[in-house]
């Protein structure tokens, strides 16, 4: 694994990161995956610890540092973004969590009905 923050900052076309599988990336690859957002590119670069660029992005999405628009598929900083900065579509905040809660509540109500409580 190779990671060079100086190359990242100063030479966008030179290899600044090589993952453990041997894939090399230059700053432009980070900027491209970050939809041109250099701050976002830097955040992804900082998070790279040997995984591929794509896997690192997936990890950042799973810990909610990044959001991915469910409509246009683009990624952006999750913090404070309530709408997608690209297509302005409202984010589905933690939709999987909420549907889990809804399913649990429905199950609970059914249980109460079965017990003739309601």
Phi/psi at 53 (5° precision)? -55, -45
Q: How many CB atoms lie within 10 A of CB 58?
A: 14
Q: Containing H/E element for 77?
A: strand 75-77
Cβ 86 to Zn ion, closest distance in Å?
Answer: 4
Q: How many Cα atoms within 13 Å fall on the side-chain side of residue 28?
A: 5
Residue 87 is a binding residue for Zn ion (CB under 5 A): yes
Cβ 75 to Zn ion, closest distance in Å?
Answer: 10
Binding segment (CB under 5 A) for Zn ion, from list 20-28, 40-48, 80-88, 100-108: 80-88
Size of the site for Zn ion (CB under 5 A): 7
Q: Contact positions toward Zn ion, by CB under 5 A? A: 69, 71-72, 84, 86-87, 89
């Amino acid at each position: 694994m190779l990671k060079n923050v100086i190359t990242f900052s100063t030479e966008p076309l030179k290899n600044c990161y090589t993952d453990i599988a041997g894939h090399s990336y230059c700053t432009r690859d980070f900027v491209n995956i970050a939809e041109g957002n250099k701050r976002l590119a830097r955040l992804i670069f900082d998070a790279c610890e040997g995984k591929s660029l794509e896997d690192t992005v997936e990890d950042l999405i799973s810990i909610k540092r990044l959001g991915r628009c469910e409509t246009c598929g683009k990624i952006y900083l999750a913090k404070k973004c309530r709408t997608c900065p690209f297509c302005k579509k409202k984010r589905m905040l933690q939709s999987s969590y909420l549907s889990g809660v809804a399913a649990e509540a429905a199950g609970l109500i059914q249980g109460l009905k079965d017990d003739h409580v309601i």
